[in-house]
Amino acid sequence: MADAPASTPTPSKPAPRKRKAGEPLDPSRIRNFSIVAHIDHGKSTLADRLLEVTGTVTLREMKEQLLDDMDLERERGITIKSHAVSMRVDRDGEEYELNLIDTPGHVDFQYEVSRSLTCCEGALLLVDAFQGVEAQTVANAYKAIEHDLEIIPILNKIDLVHARPDEVKEEIETTLGLDATEAIGCSAKTGQNCAAVIDAIIDRVPPPKGNNDAPLQAMVFDSVYDEYRGAIIYLRLMNGMVRPGDRIKFLQAGTEHEVLEVGQLTPKRTQRDFLSTGQVGYMICNIKSLGNVHIGDTVTTARGKQAEPLPGYDEPKRMVFCGLYPSDGHDFENLREALGKLQVNDPSFVFEPETSDALGFGFRCGFLGLLHMEIVQQRLEQESDMDLVQTAPNVTYKIQTNDGVWNEVHTPTRVPDASDIKEFQQPVVRVNFVMPAEYIGGVMKLCSDRRGVFVRQEYLSPQRSMLVYDISLAEVVYDMHDRLKSITRGYGTMDYEMKGYEAGDLVRLDILVKGDRVDALSIICDKRDADPRGRAVIKKLKEEIPRHMFEVPLQAAIGTRIVARETISAMSKNVTAKCYGGDISRKKKLWAKQKEGKKRMKSIGNVDIPQKAFLAVLETGDDESKK
């Protein structure tokens, strides 16, 4: 019997070379990725599981929504700020570094999302396996496509009894045009299949391009202010390396600083000897002047050959403006300092000083949306211990006067007389509504009541539909989201993007308290809504403003025309209580004396207007128009 031929030995794979201490990590072993999704689809929970699976955080340190470290984020259960964290993974003896930048899901924080995506090469598109594709899923997916990122679809919550992964995959392919055949199903809550997500990141997200030997080139994507250490800058290195002791330069600000410390977030700040190409980390330079840090700035070396400035970010569009005033006038400078510190961390809002006859000295602040405005106010109250009075929000309008000059108007008090206005333009947004098909009629009626213009209707699946309307931004930011949730029983979602400015039949509605115009209560609205809106606001004010010792008339006016009036009656004392019988002339004398006193008090008395009254102007007049 012939001997069997000897089998040829398979060539063994060379053992991976271990990285020496002090040697930078090869950029091909780095993966920078983001998680994008609709609000409440499980981004923060998936981030928790990835930290757990990679061993970055021990079970003892673990808690829910670990990266959401702000009190407000934990209270509301939403992500407000982007959070960066570095994870180390060993696979087949090779060391990989995964840098996750967790992003918010709410429409108001789109600016945070775009900043994060600029620093990444890939994105996990997280979709709820039960709820499916929602409005923000569509918006965030398109943002990732615009940034030319590798998109990995992930179906979360597959452990739910009502999960429908096959239908949701169809929705992803139909709505977004992405191949969902290799979508990974997982449960961020239980940790089911989360290891497969790590493998997909390593295999499918491309490594960063760049060279450690090139001049330093890094992008500032966020910053926070520390009372003791100054501004702490978060940056992503595109080229080169940075070490403590280096002299660096901010190209946009034109300032030079010495690097005191560099490190990475794991998720706590962990000091490193250096940061190299492709890495995401932080840098401390003892920067005390808040104006020296600009989000989107490029960091390069101050000596030798310098790098080219990076494109940075688009300037965010502030669409909602309101006044913030300290309840105690002596706190004006404290409020200015608190706003300055907050702006280092959140450059998407702006502020400038203004005065009000009713409220004194304060600031006119611009925000990305209504939730953003709420968050900034609450952060000021909690982090800086400020007691604030907030005026009703307004959007930005454009007005062309008779002499042909265009002006941007952020507050109703700056609207000129109607006779001086040639054209009054309002911002219009394109709104995408995603909802179960049975609620289409209710949402269409809501949009037509707000004078929306129908654009198109699409079916994502037999049970789910998307409506697209063009609506005035003023109608959207006030209470459109709340009304949508009540009409669709919580299943409807919306997302909007700025379309442009269009001419409208708009007027300024003034509120007069005791004959004096209160500038903080003025609003801009459509002429056809002015009468019911004025009546609704006046009725609401009557409930909110307490009674005084004198009569307080409340009026709503357009120019010189009064459209609504209510009167808060005076508190009365029975001055004839001690008169038992006798001549009526004695009672008449007491009544006349009381009347004279109230008349004198009315001429010199001040009306106290509580904070709730300033928000009464948010009433749209819907209830009034139904009567």
pLDDT tens, position by position, 235-252: 888 888 888 888 888 887
What is the distance of C-alpha 248 from the center of its chain?
31
Q: Alpha-carbon distance 399 to 421, whole Å?
A: 7
- Residue 17 has a pLDDT of 55
Q: Which domain holds residue 539?
A: 530-626
Residue 40, marked binder: yes
- Looking at this protein, which amino acid is placed at residue 41? H
Structural domain includes residue 525:
no
- Residue 112 has a pLDDT of 60
- Picking from 392, 416, 437, the residue at the C-terminal end of a domain is 392
pLDDT tier for residue 10 given thresholds of 50, 70 and 90 = very low
- Residue with the two structure tokens 């179906």: 155
Residue 44, marked binder: yes
The proportion of the chain whose per-residue pLDDT surpasses 90, expressed as a percent, equals: 0
Q: What is the DSSP letter of 475?
A: H
Residue 156, marked binder: yes
- Looking at this protein, which amino acid is placed at residue 534? G
Q: Which two tokens stand for residue 112?
A: 């945070």
Which CATH number is 273's domain given?
Answer: 2.40.30.10
Q: Alpha-carbon distance 171 to 176, whole Å?
A: 8
**Could you tell me if 289 and 412 lie in one domain?**
no
Residue 312: other Cβ atoms inside 10 A: 17
Residue 159, marked binder: yes
- Residue 190 has a pLDDT of 85
Residue 157, marked binder: yes
pLDDT tier for residue 128 given thresholds of 50, 70 and 90 = confident
Q: What is the DSSP letter of 286?
A: -
Q: How far is CA 486 from CA 119, 137, 369, 576, in A?
A: 38, 21, 20, 53
Is the confidence at residue 2, as pLDDT, over 50? no
- Residue 357 has a pLDDT of 65
**Could you tell me if 500 and 416 lie in one domain?**
yes
- Residue 464 has a pLDDT of 80
Q: In terms of Cα–Cα distance, which of 164, 218, 154 is closest to 187?
A: 154
Higher pLDDT, 22 or 84: 84
Bridge partners (DSSP) of residue 508 are 524
pLDDT tens, position by position, 509-530: 888 887 777 777 777 877 887 7
Structural domain includes residue 255:
yes
| Residues 620 and 446 sit within 8 Å (Cβ to Cβ) | no
Backbone angles phi, psi at 87, to 5 degrees: -125, 140
**Could you tell me if 417 and 387 lie in one domain?**
no
Which CATH number is 128's domain given?
Answer: 3.40.50.300
Structural domain includes residue 372:
yes
DSSP secondary structure string for all residues of 562-618: EEEEEEEPPP---TTTT--SS-HHHHHHHHHHHHHHHHHHHHHPPPP--HHHHTGGG
**Could you tell me if 103 and 249 lie in one domain?**
no
Is the confidence at residue 70, as pLDDT, over 50? no
**Could you tell me if 364 and 459 lie in one domain?**
no
Q: Is 327 helix (H, G, I), strand (E, B) or coil?
A: coil
* Mean pLDDT within 457-483: 82
- Looking at this protein, which amino acid is placed at residue 544? E
Structural domain includes residue 211:
no
**Could you tell me if 574 and 607 lie in one domain?**
yes
Backbone angles phi, psi at 625, to 5 degrees: -70, -20
pLDDT tens, position by position, 134-153: 777 887 788 888 888 899 99
pLDDT tier for residue 538 given thresholds of 50, 70 and 90 = confident
- Residue 61 has a pLDDT of 56
| Residues 30 and 99 sit within 8 Å (Cβ to Cβ) | yes
- Picking from 204, 238, 264, the residue at the C-terminal end of a domain is 204
Q: What is the DSSP letter of 52?
A: H
- Residue 618 has a pLDDT of 52
- Picking from 204, 230, 258, the residue at the C-terminal end of a domain is 204
Structural domain includes residue 6:
no
- Residue with the two structure tokens 């992503």: 236
**Could you tell me if 382 and 469 lie in one domain?**
no
Peptide bond into 267 cis (omega under 30): yes
Q: What is the mean pLDDT of the chain?
A: 77
Is the confidence at residue 63, as pLDDT, over 70? no
- Residue 414 has a pLDDT of 77
Structural domain includes residue 15:
no
Is the confidence at residue 223, as pLDDT, over 60? yes
* Mean pLDDT within 482-507: 80
Residue 58, marked binder: no
- Residue 501 has a pLDDT of 86
- Residue 60 has a pLDDT of 53
Is the confidence at residue 25, as pLDDT, over 50? yes
Q: Which two tokens stand for residue 38?
A: 């609709």
Bridge partners (DSSP) of residue 37 are 126
**Could you tell me if 486 and 553 lie in one domain?**
no
Which CATH number is 573's domain given?
Answer: 3.30.70.2570
pLDDT tier for residue 534 given thresholds of 50, 70 and 90 = confident
Higher pLDDT, 22 or 343: 343
Structural domain includes residue 14:
no
The DSSP bridge pattern shows strands 394-395 and 320-326 to be antiparallel
pLDDT tens, position by position, 270-305: 888 888 888 888 898 878 766 677 777 888 888 877
Residue 626, marked binder: no
pLDDT tier for residue 104 given thresholds of 50, 70 and 90 = low
Tell me the H-state helices in 313-357. Answer: 332-345
Is the confidence at residue 424, as pLDDT, over 60? yes
**Could you tell me if 198 and 94 lie in one domain?**
yes
**Could you tell me if 37 and 127 lie in one domain?**
yes
Least confident of 86-90, 186-190, 379-383, 423-427: 379-383
The DSSP bridge pattern shows strands 83-91 and 184-185 to be unpaired
Give the burial class of 429: count Cβ atoms within 10 A of its Cβ; 0-12 exposed, 13-18 middle, 19 or more buried.
buried
pTM confidence score: 0.66
Structural domain includes residue 465:
yes
The proportion of the chain whose per-residue pLDDT surpasses 70, expressed as a percent, equals: 79
Number of structural domains in the chain: 5
Is the confidence at residue 221, as pLDDT, over 60? yes
- Residue 580 has a pLDDT of 65
Residue 470, marked binder: no
Q: Alpha-carbon distance 31 to 361, whole Å?
A: 49
**Could you tell me if 62 and 197 lie in one domain?**
yes
**Could you tell me if 167 and 186 lie in one domain?**
yes
- Residue 627 has a pLDDT of 39
Q: Which two tokens stand for residue 200?
A: 């997909």
